[in-house]
């Protein structure tokens, strides 16, 4: 159930759905998703589906993780540091950690932040910093970021995040109301922000404050 073959089947499914960046596919193939969910759900870990992780949150669907990661990498010459908002169990964090130098990630639910930090440490991921905080403020001390990826849905792009995006960088996030959002990509050019809209998605809402 956790074998290389099972993981490769997931990758084949992602290719069939249109994911083509080999680095993204490799990162997904190398990420043991069964270690990011409860043992009772481990047998379903390589299905292309979102699964519950407690606290009314979910581990994202692999296709969505791949789609957002591809969008984040596309058109950015070299990513040096990424800011992720919504660590959850840390699955997307580990995918990113294999593709860029440094990942900073923020989670508002304390026990999820601690569990994700410990899990990634056990998996020998050493280029990730995870803090317990409210992603609406971003993490200005370490910015600007060549990439910002938000894995919970705000109603509108949080203002603070625009400033923390480096020139030449990209921000990818679901934007909209509960249950129906659109994937948005924002690219920062020398004197502008360019916005493009992608597919319809369904993320948990981005909420203020930490708990």
Q: How far is the CB of 65 from ligand SAH (least distance, A)?
A: 6
Main-chain phi, psi angles of 38, to 5 degrees = -60, 145
Considering the rule CB under 6 A, would residue 33 count as an interface residue with ligand SAH? no
Considering the rule CB under 6 A, would residue 58 count as an interface residue with ligand SAH? yes
User: Cβ distance 62 to 48 under 8 Å?
Assistant: yes
**Count, residues near ligand SAH per rule CB under 6 A:** 24
Q: How far is the CB of 18 from ligand SAH (least distance, A)?
A: 20
Considering the rule CB under 6 A, would residue 204 count as an interface residue with ligand SAH? yes
Q: What residues form DSSP beta bridges with 102?
A: 81
Tell me which of 151, 164, 181, 185 binds ligand SAH, using CB under 6 A. Answer: 151
Residues in 85-124 that interact with ligand SAH by CB under 6 A = 85-86, 88-89, 91-92, 106-109, 112
Q: What residues form DSSP beta bridges with 147?
A: 82, 170
Catalytic residue among 20, 43, 60, 105, which? Answer: 60
Q: How far is the CB of 88 from ligand SAH (least distance, A)?
A: 3
Q: Is 105 one of the annotated active-site residues of the chain?
A: no
Tell me which of 24, 45, 59, 183 binds ligand SAH, using CB under 6 A. Answer: 59
Stretch of residues binding ligand SAH (CB under 6 A), selected from 73-81, 82-90, 169-177, 181-189: 82-90
**Residue closest to 166 by CA, chosen among 148, 146, 150:** 146
Nearer to ligand SAH, 77 or 159 (CB): 159
Nearer to ligand SAH, 5 or 49 (CB): 49
Q: How far is the CB of 36 from ligand SAH (least distance, A)?
A: 7
Nearer to ligand SAH, 77 or 141 (CB): 141
What phi-psi label fits residue 86: left (phi over 0), alpha (psi between -120 and 50 degrees) or beta? left
Q: How far is the CB of 127 from ligand SAH (least distance, A)?
A: 17
Considering the rule CB under 6 A, would residue 138 count as an interface residue with ligand SAH? no
């Amino acid at each position: 159930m956790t074998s290389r073959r099972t993981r490769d089947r997931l990758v084949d499914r992602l290719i069939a759905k249109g994911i083509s960046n080999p680095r993204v596919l490799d990162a997904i193939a190398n990420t043991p998703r069964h270690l990011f969910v409860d043992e009772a759900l481990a047998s379903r870990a390589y299905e292309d589906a979102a699964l519950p992780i407690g606290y009314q949150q979910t581990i994202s669907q692999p296709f969505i993780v791949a789609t957002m990661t591809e969008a984040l990498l596309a058109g950015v010459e070299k990513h040096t540091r990424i800011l992720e908002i919504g660590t959850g169990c840390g699955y997307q964090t580990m995918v990113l950690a294999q593709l860029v130098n440094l990942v900073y990630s923020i989670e508002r639910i304390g026990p999820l932040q601690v569990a994700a930090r410990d899990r990634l440490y056990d998996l020998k991921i050493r280029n990730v910093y995870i803090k317990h905080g409210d992603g609406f403020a971003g993490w200005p001390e370490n910015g600007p970021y060549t990439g910002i990826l938000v894995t919970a849905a705000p109603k509108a792009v949080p203002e603070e995040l625009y400033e923390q995006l480096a020139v030449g960088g990209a921000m990818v996030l679901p934007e909209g109301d509960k249950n129906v959002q659109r994937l948005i990509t924002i690219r920062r050019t020398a004197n502008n922000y360019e916005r493009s809209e992608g597919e319809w998605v369904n993320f948990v809402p981005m909420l203020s404050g930490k708990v």
